[in-house]
Amino acid sequence: MRLLRIKLQDFRGVTEREIEFAPRGVTLVEGPNESGKSSLADALALVLTEKDSSRKRHVIACQPVDRDAGPEVEVELESGSYHLTVSKRFVRRPRTVLEVTAPRPEKGLTGAAAHERLQ
């Protein structure tokens, strides 16, 4: 799997952040403590494994403490011949949207069907 891009919105202490990864080699993510580095890895794990409707403790913990918003994660990645973008919002108005652009375009995948297709 090659991660191409990840975007966080209202995820823990991150209001909004988008990282584009190098198409080849290694991308180094660095920054001071509490700048959101660990949140990137946790967000990736959540979007790939948890349903948007999950009420697990570690999913609820991703909600920002200073505002009433649902954490959102969008990931663009390649895996084998697949190129896809998945977007999930947790806790408040949960939603999942999956768009597969290769090897064969698939649009309109949402909710549980999108999560299952991602798996």
Nearest to 105 by CA among 80, 84, 88: 84
Determine the Cα–Cα distance for residues 28 and 85; give it in Å rounded to an integer.
22
What pLDDT is recorded for position 36?
Answer: 82
Q: Is the pLDDT of residue 24 over 90?
A: no
Tokens of 32: 């001071």
Question: How would CATH label the architecture of 2-118?
Answer: 3-Layer(aba) Sandwich (3.40)
Q: Is the pLDDT of residue 26 over 90?
A: no
12 near 64, Cβ under 8 Å? yes
Cβ neighbors of 45 (< 8 A, separation 6 or more) are none
What pLDDT is recorded for position 65?
Answer: 87
pTM: 0.92
CA distances from 105 to 4, 84, 98 (A): 18, 9, 11
